Chains A and B, each alone.
Chain A
Amino acid sequence: MIMNFYKKNYDIIVIGAGHAGCEAALAAARMGCTTLLLTIDMDKIAAMPCSPSIGGMAKGQLVKEIDALGGQMAKASDASAIQYRTLNTRKGPAVHSTRTQNDKVIYSKQMKSVLEKTPGLDLKQAMVESLILEDNQVKGIIDQTGFEYEAVSVVITTGTFLQGMVHIGASRIEAGRTGEFASIGLARNLAELDLNMGRMKTGTPPRLHADSIDFSQFDIHGADTIPKPFSFSTRKISNPMLPSFMGNTNPGTHEIIRQNLKHSALYGGHIKGKSARYCPSFEDKIVKFPDRESHHVILEYEGLDSKEIYASGLGNSMPLEIQYQIVRSVRGLEQAQIMRPAYAIEYDYVNPLELTPGLEVKRTPGLFLAGQINGTSGYEEAGAQGLWAGVNAACRVQKREPFVLDRSQAYMGVMVDDLVTRGTQEPYRMFTSRAEYRLLLREDNADLRLSQIGYDYGLIDKEQLDLCKEILFQTKKEITRVKTTVIKPDKAVNTFLADHKTNPITTGIKLEQLLKRAQLTYEALKQISPPQNPIKKRAQNQVEIEIKYEGYIQRQLNEIKKFKDLEKIRIPMNFDYTHIHGLSNELREKLGLIQPKSLGQASRTDGITPAAISVLMVAISAYQKNKES
């Protein structure tokens, strides 16, 4: 069939095809919305402009959650991984996180291919110049050439492109990433919406040519010998695995920084944006930790077919001349050739307090924001928000209730709640310590937690849901068996216990008690007490985790119950705080800006007191009674 018309009306338009934009567009399309995804450069889809890696602490959990909700990140990662590491294996399963190193070209191609094949999703190259608004509601967009598209919801995921400014020493280049156009028109357009906006800074280390590095001067940095796939649905990993290398800076390196601080864009006064404390540039490390004589440098491959080496630890904003001095002062890098210089980049972001828990701009219904534009950092944080905003944009089209996971359901829920309740003063990154119910929000149970929700929203298929249900069913049944089975103290049992270096038993003991012993695993205990019918490996794993953590899990569940009580008390839309008797002016103003949806959310506002919560509770109740009568 020859297409004799071109489509100009969509349910949803997503601006930007980075990690947030791709997940947003895919989620919206999967929910049955006609979706248009616009990118400035068709060859830069889901690019990895910084570290060529996916996952890491807490980020791994986010990726697994995206996967559980039908997202693409984990699958694309498995298709492009050149190294797997499970972090924190010496600690318990709640804080295990997966990290892959990826071939960034394969990753990008993989994502583009999936986008192209997804029904209902159009992928086009265009730079958006402005939004079309009517009565403060979004109606569509206009591109740089004046071409218009209409839509019910628009999702903006522009990353570092809004008024992007790259700094290398004193040199300043207007760019979204080095060598790419910055988005200026859209930034101006957003500023006209009178949103509270700010400036942030991030940066990336130099890329070195592999042949110019003496790898013998570096240690091999540990990787998993048996890779465990990121996605719950990946069955096979086919790429060859590549090592990473670890070396160190030395006092000489640090001296070069000290001598040249005035040339640094960061310390020379060129950069005003706020940078993240967990991701300091090398200048920062030297200034803030002057006593350290050495910092790690980790060298990572950027791809199977690439000689580019990512020099983690050497991020800076010095002129190229000095970058050479810094790099070459490190043992093993004396001859190193810099293929791409390190740089710092400043960009605009929107204060996330402007957003609802659905990531919709409060004053501009229909406009959703996700990723770095919300003041976050990281591909995984972006991907998770992209999925969240995409689903909510679709919910708006389909007139469904907003999609909001709470802090007890997912890391995503923690992140969004943090952003829309507390805002952020620096690029926001996920950490496991931000999740108060960390023991329950594990990588291993991400799909078990979320598949029902994913299915209800049309994000995953029945097969995936049924698999999770089966695992949950087997787990529950097996836990009952483990809790009721009594092991008698016979010779075979005590020999088994002695072999596992744990105390013998003298009276009958519940299997559960044995499983709680640090020395014993479920796998081992199967020898003395196997389940009636074989159960799935994942169910076995769940049984072991739930029994070993049991006391603490129970405590977290009790806390969640209390937490939900406050979440249940809804605050009416556009609730007026200015006249609430007994609240401080500061709190009135803050709550008015945040417009929390529930008393629970209000209780997490900065500076709130228990008395103020009580006052609010009374005021909400009075308001509702007043409305009824």
Chain B
Amino acid sequence: MNDTITAIATPYGSGGIGVIRISGPRSFEIASMLFSKTREPEETDTTLVSHRVTHGFILDKSDPDNIEVVDEVLLVPMQAPRSYTAEDVIEIQAHSGTIVLRTILELTISCGARLSEPGEFTKRAFLNQRIDLTQAEAVIDIINARSVSSLKFASSQNLGELKFKIEQLRTPLIDFLSRLEASIDFPDEVEAFEISPSDSDQLDQVIEKCREYIQQHDDACFLKEGIKVAITGEPNVGKSSLMNRILERDKSIITPIPGTTRDPIEEGLNIDGIPFVFIDTAGIHETDDLVEIIGIEKAKDHIADADLILFMKEPGSVFSDKEFQKIIPLENDLEKKVILVINKMDLAQENSDNLCLPTSDYARLPVIKISALLNQGVKELKEKIVDLCILDLSMTTSVVIPNLRHKKALELTLSFLESVKAGLAQGQEEETLAIDMKNSIDSLGTITGETASIDILDNIFNSFCIGK
């Protein structure tokens, strides 16, 4: 119990506030690595006063040149023993968006916390005598129930399938390890360990698969969190009005003054059972206003992040390739989906000669004409959005979706396997290769709950003839 654990403490996807709880000796240290009272990293360490709520920001400092504010939060430090677990505890109260919570959770892990086991906070509370003796059985029930429910959660994601796929990765690795171990323990009876081209292909395939499953986790997150749709266009083209029409409510501040939306506004919406996140971005244009410039930079990030872009224009304006190029560079974003939305059709002439549709490569983009003001064409636009996304969805829902715990295990596996690969290339000795190989097998084992150590000897005796 000397390590520090972390988890999202609030139920998944409900409430306006999400809490991340960190418990253990390093909690305060981890908090000070992430937290700042200002949007910039502080010169001196933030001293955290126990049991005092502090307002501030969670910063992602993984890229020192580009420190990002993840969320504005309230931080509640609780020094041992006056906390739920009777250990040093940090609670981070953040906005409950799953992206935000997951990002913060991952940051706490990268700072040295470990994802907690089922029921582990309660267990620690008990072991540290925070919970009464009579509650011991209740604690056990929580541990067991959480284990079962995490299994159920996993099986709802097609655990059998996942288990099967992970086993498929483990089998060749176990075979490699058996050969390594056999060459070590039976130098007189077994040929020296040599890796054939087909072996190294197989190793590459396992590595590739690990990467693929990690990618599937990241891809799947967009499903859980919603498909990101960014609304962009020149200032005052009616982006906020469209946002309100799509969401069927009044959220963005709509004024006739260009540049009103400085921070992107995000909102989730379920259309035909598919979760979307609509992002109302700042209008992109040349400006000297510093605050606006920041807004525009953010808008560009959101566009780069988006799965789908609604590019808005009004009748009579010109579609220039150059303008497009700024927002949607074709060469690296051919896959990105874009819908051209012509707003303010209510103002357009009866004969729409002056619509000036795009030419060249951009000509094949779908075009939807709407009037946000009169709520015309918005329904058609929604249908088009769903149509464009459904294709991707049918591909993603059939695959295995590893959860965060699985992803962490896969990343660990990957790092060990890369070490094996490098070692093989350098002619590293068998006994150290075996350590990396065993660690990779064990970390895959944590995904399937394979806790018993694999019987390498069993495997050796089945494949090699050994003995006097």
Contact = CB atoms under 8 A, between A and B. Distances in A.
A binds B: yes
Interface of A: 51, 57-58, 87-88, 90-92, 94-95, 205, 276-280, 284-285, 288-289, 292, 295-296, 298, 312-313, 315, 431-434, 438-439, 518, 549, 552, 555-556, 565, 581-582, 606-611, 614-615, 617-619, 621-622, 625-626, 629
Interface string B431-464: 1101100000000000001011000110001000
Contacts of A433: 181, 184-185, 434, 456-457
A92 B140 contact: no
Interface in B182-233: 184-189, 192
A57 B183 CA distance: 11
B452 A58 contact: no
B325 interface: no
B465 interface: yes
Q: What bracket does the count of chain B residues touching chain A fall in?
A: 35 or more
Given A91-B430, A617-B127, A277 B468 contact: no
Interface stretch (B9-17, B85-93, B115-123, B333-341): B115-123
A289 B190 CA distance: 14
B250 interface: no
A614 B1 CA distance: 11
B421 to A, nearest CB: 16
12 contacts: A278-B467, A280-B465, A431-B181, A433-B457, A581-B137, A582-B144, A607-B452, A611-B143, A611-B144, A618-B140, A619-B136, A619-B140
A314 to B, nearest CB: 8
The 5 closest A-B pairs by CB, nearest first: A582-B140, A622-B136, A277-B461, A611-B147, A92-B429
A439 B428 CA distance: 14
B164 to A, nearest CB: 20
A618 B431 contact: no
Contacts of B426: 518
Contacts of A556: 435
A278 B140 contact: no
A610 B117 contact: yes
A433 B123 CA distance: 34
Contacts of B434: 433
Contacts of A280: 465-467
Contacts of A565: 1-2
Given A614-B123, A615-B140, A555 B435 contact: yes
B435 A614 contact: no
Contacts, number: 130
Nearest to A609: B451
Contacts of A606: 452
Given A91-B429, A608-B451, A614 B136 contact: no
Given A610-B117, A611-B147, A625-B129, 13 more contacts: A87-B187, A279-B467, A289-B465, A431-B181, A433-B181, A518-B427, A582-B140, A606-B452, A607-B452, A617-B123, A618-B127, A619-B140, A626-B133
B278 interface: no
A439 B184 CA distance: 13
A615 B185 contact: no
B198 to A, nearest CB: 20
Contacts of B466: 277-278, 280
Contacts of A611: 118, 143-144, 147
Nearest to B427: A518
B460 to A, nearest CB: 8
B75 interface: no
A552 B123 contact: no
Contact of B119 (A94, A288, A292, A614): A614
A129 to B, nearest CB: 35
A427 B224 CA distance: 54
A92 B431 contact: yes
Contacts of B185: 57-58, 431-433
Nearest to A58: B185
Which of A298, A431, A434, A608 gathers most chain B CB within 10 Å?
Answer: A431
B57 interface: no
A92 B428 CA distance: 9
